[in-house]
Amino acid sequence: MPDLPDRSIAVVLGTRPEMIKLSVLITLLGDAARVIHTGQHFDNELAFGRGQAHQRLDVGGRHRGEQIGDATSQLTRDWGANPPAVVIVQGDTNTALAGAMAANAVEIPLIHVEAGLRSHDRAMPEEHNRILIDHLADVCCAATPGNVTNLWAEGIPERRIILTGNPIVEAVHLTTRDHASAHRVTAPLTGRRFVLATVHRPENTDDPVRLRRLLEALGTLDLPVLLPLHPRTRQRVRQFGLGYLLERLHVTGPLTYRAFLAIAEQATLLISDSGGLQEESSILGLPLLVVRRSTERPEALSPRCLLVPDPGHLAQHAEELITNSLTEAPVTCPFGDGRASARIADLSELIGHHSTAVNPPQRHLQDRGWPPTAAYVRKRGFLTGSEGYFG
């Protein structure tokens, strides 16, 4: 547990994936954590962990620009009056960008968890977010060597890059499965192999032709398809008059994370446009079809994790993976050894002490002797990008 004052490390989150990935880190930070939930996920089924936050901003349900602007403004004002020693953001959400911009505005050291992801697809709003956050961050916590390479390619100095692994690894392993809820959801499929699918990204949901083709493809698979329906997808299905395509599928509402993991472990095949599920499927050793034009996690791709840009090819690839699911070698996980959260907690303590040891405190890390010597960094168990993969 970091030896820092209470609520001195601001952890900014606003979506279910952020809360899941930061859950172990928040536990390790203990009383030092100041959890701020922006409310980006305002739906009760998706707003995982909002009740655990010390502060809520409620910017959900707005346009991307409004979310980022409102959250940045509120955080800047709050931190100007009561600055934390360190700010931590995760991933590529509007929430993460708002936290990064506010930290930069008030000159508070910023740690970016899951830095260096790149899809090289400018049509993805998340790509813009993650690039901006990485260049604002004082320390980029990269999950894989490939992420480190991406950061180097953009000119981010090595002193600002730490290879930590991805905290989703320990989150998946430590999350207790809700088998009771899973059994209720899968009861109609008892004794049958099935496919678990999720669809929520704008590139799939906001294009009526693409959404129709995707749902049609799911309805033609040889195995029954269980589809937990995201609120955005449900709205678009209704808006585009595609409800008849759901009749071929086993549709349920959004699942808790504990129930979702329990169901995923029973599935023969996963189909999704989720970025996080690319990580989780590799951790669980499950085959996955990624229905997207591009991916920021190429490390996850393998013969059992395929990128399918065209929904028209979904059925063919699904048939191949279903047929080979019992004979193919298991999926391997490239996202670390399950110690990322501990590394980031220790790193937060180190930076927090640097931050509070100077007067005035609102100055960038390079102005206060960061980074420490390479020998000190190695002693603490950190690795810079050139020193290999987790020792």
| Domain boundary residue, one of 324, 359, 377 | 324
**Are 55 and 76 in contact, with CB atoms under 8 Å apart?**
no
CB within 8 Å of 24: residues ≥ 6 apart? 167, 170, 171, 174, 341
Q: Are residues 149 and 35 in the same domain?
A: yes
Q: Which of 200, 230, 250, 317 is catalytic?
A: 200
**Are 131 and 115 in contact, with CB atoms under 8 Å apart?**
no
Rounded to whole angstroms, how far apart are CA atoms 274 and 367? 39
> Which of 318, 372, 313, 310 is CA-nearest to residue 347?
372
Residue ranges with strand state E in the chain: 9-13, 33-37, 55-56, 86-90, 110-115, 139-142, 161-163, 195-198, 225-228, 250-252, 269-272, 288-290, 305-307
The reply to whether 2 falls in a domain is no
The reply to whether 354 falls in a domain is yes
Give yes or no: 230 in active site: no
| Domain boundary residue, one of 300, 324, 348 | 324
The reply to whether 3 falls in a domain is no
Read off the pLDDT of residues 8-54 as tens digits, 9 standing for 90 and up.
999 999 999 999 999 999 999 999 999 999 988 765 444 444 457 89
pLDDT number for residue 42: 60
Q: Are residues 182 and 160 in the same domain?
A: no
120 Rama class: left (phi>0) / alpha (psi -120 to 50) / beta: left
Q: What angle do CA 159, 162, 163 make, to 5 degrees?
A: 145
Q: DSSP class of residue 194?
A: -
Q: Are residues 75 and 161 in the same domain?
A: yes
The reply to whether 231 falls in a domain is yes
Q: Are residues 147 and 197 in the same domain?
A: no
The reply to whether 331 falls in a domain is no
Q: What one-character-per-residue DSSP string does 113-145 give?
A: EEET-----TT-HHHHHHHHHHHH-SEEEESSH
Rounded to whole angstroms, how far apart are CA atoms 37 and 71? 10
Q: Are residues 261 and 378 in the same domain?
A: no
Q: Are residues 261 and 211 in the same domain?
A: yes
CATH number, domain of 130, equals 3.40.50.2000
Q: Are residues 233 and 151 in the same domain?
A: no
pLDDT number for residue 20: 94
Q: Are residues 186 and 160 in the same domain?
A: no
The reply to whether 198 falls in a domain is yes
pLDDT number for residue 319: 93
Q: Are residues 234 and 313 in the same domain?
A: yes
Read off the pLDDT of residues 145-191 as tens digits, 9 standing for 90 and up.
999 999 999 999 998 999 999 999 999 999 999 999 999 999 999 99
Q: Are residues 342 and 280 in the same domain?
A: no
The reply to whether 275 falls in a domain is yes
**Are 107 and 363 in contact, with CB atoms under 8 Å apart?**
yes
Q: Are residues 182 and 139 in the same domain?
A: no
pLDDT number for residue 18: 95
pLDDT number for residue 364: 52
Q: Are residues 253 and 281 in the same domain?
A: yes
From residue 306, give the alpha-carbon distance in Å to each of 131, 199, 270, 316.
25, 16, 11, 12
With a cut of 70, which residues of the chain have pLDDT below it?
Answer: 1-2, 42-51, 325-330, 355-391
The reply to whether 62 falls in a domain is yes
**Are 139 and 105 in contact, with CB atoms under 8 Å apart?**
no
pLDDT number for residue 63: 84
Structural domains in the chain (count): 2
Question: Domain range spanning residue 89?
Answer: 9-167+338-387
pLDDT number for residue 52: 72
